[in-house]
Amino acid sequence: MKIALDVVGGDYAPDSTIEGVKLALPELPLDASVVLVGPEALINTKLEQFNIDSSQVEISIAEEIIGMGEHPTKALSQKPQASIPVGYHLLKSGAVDAFCSAGNTGAMHVGSMFSIRTITGIIRPGIAGFAPKENGGLGVIMDVGANADCKPDVLVQFGEIASIYAEHVLKIIKPKVGLMSLGTEEKKGTLLTQAAHQLFTLNKKIDFIGNIEGYDIFNDKADVIVCDGFTGNVILKLAESIYSLLQKRSYSDPFFDQFNYEAIGGSPILGVNGNVIIGHGVSTSIAIKNMLLQARQMVQSQVHQKIRESLQN
């Protein structure tokens, strides 16, 4: 197993990324290695600084950097030797099994569609987020930002592929899928959610439990929460803001600690031909570590292949 990591991606890179690798190595299988993608001299300097001398670390040279504020499409075309396109090249060629970056989110999303491309049958790939549950588990929120505007069939497909992730990566047996709406009644919500509800009831691949409301996000009513990317992004950032407010008030609780983005490490892009995780721009070393560990889970579960098989069937 090989996991590629964008060394220069993120506001605190490369220190955060290299230190994150150091934290992750003891928890990765002995047959797993991390491929560091970025400028060679910089990587070697940081490996020495953090005292990392491991046979589980490799280097793939990428001398250019795509900045956090650069236009995704322009940057990808103008900087083919940057860490993000080089990382995707490694993934597409099969040289690595997963690619992780806390760098430019737009470049990561666009790059996935133009490099490894979407799985045949996928209408739109999406970014999955996570919600801690009162019972101690995690739920999947799909989408959390890739698709601000969606059509009903896209929402239904989000339910399918997020359900596959929940089953094979989070190990949830027969995940319950709920559609985020204004009320539990079938006719409640927008024109989009009303139409999507009708399509969900016809889909036999998933366990659709109907509409859910905002106060169902953290209970065990649904394991998968389906919504458009605008709604999902608001939910995700609201949860992060709650954690920040509690930290300012010196309040700590095991449940609310999971609202911290570091606990998960990143958000996978689902619906593309490979394992891809996008990290938060302000990712710390702990977040990088957990992103790498999540990538390990995705590789071991072969989740993108499970999605492909489901669509073929």
Q: Which domains does the chain have, with CATH numbers?
A: 1-120+271-301 (3.40.718.10), 123-265 (3.40.718.10)
Q: Where in 126-273 does DSSP place strands (E)?
A: 126-132, 138-142, 176-180, 207-212, 224-226, 267-270
Question: What is the per-residue pLDDT across 35-48, written as a single tens digit (0 to 9) for each?
Answer: 999 999 999 999 99
Per-residue pLDDT, 53: 86
pLDDT at 303 over 90: yes
Rounded distance between C-alpha atoms, residue 116 and residue 207, angstroms:
30
62 by Cβ neighbours in 10 Å (0-12 / 13-18 / 19+) ranks as: buried
**Calculated CA dihedral for residues 226, 229, 230, 231, nearest 10 degrees:** 20
Length of the chain equals: 313
Q: Where are the alpha helices (DSSP H) in 131-228?
A: 152-168, 191-202
Q: Where in the chain does DSSP place strands (E)?
A: 2-6, 33-38, 57-61, 98-101, 126-132, 138-142, 176-180, 207-212, 224-226, 267-270, 275-278
Residue 148 binned pLDDT confidence (cut-offs 50, 70, 90):
very high
Predicted model pTM: 0.94
Question: What is the per-residue pLDDT across 109-144, written as a single tens digit (0 to 9) for each?
Answer: 999 999 999 999 999 999 999 999 998 899 999 999
Q: With H, G, I as helix, E, B as strand and everything else as coil, classify residue 90.
A: helix
Mean pLDDT of 84-113: 96
Q: Residue 90: what residue type?
A: L
Rounded distance between C-alpha atoms, residue 33 and residue 39, angstroms:
19
Mean pLDDT of 227-237: 95
Quick one: which of 245, 279, 297, 306 has its CA closest to 100? 279
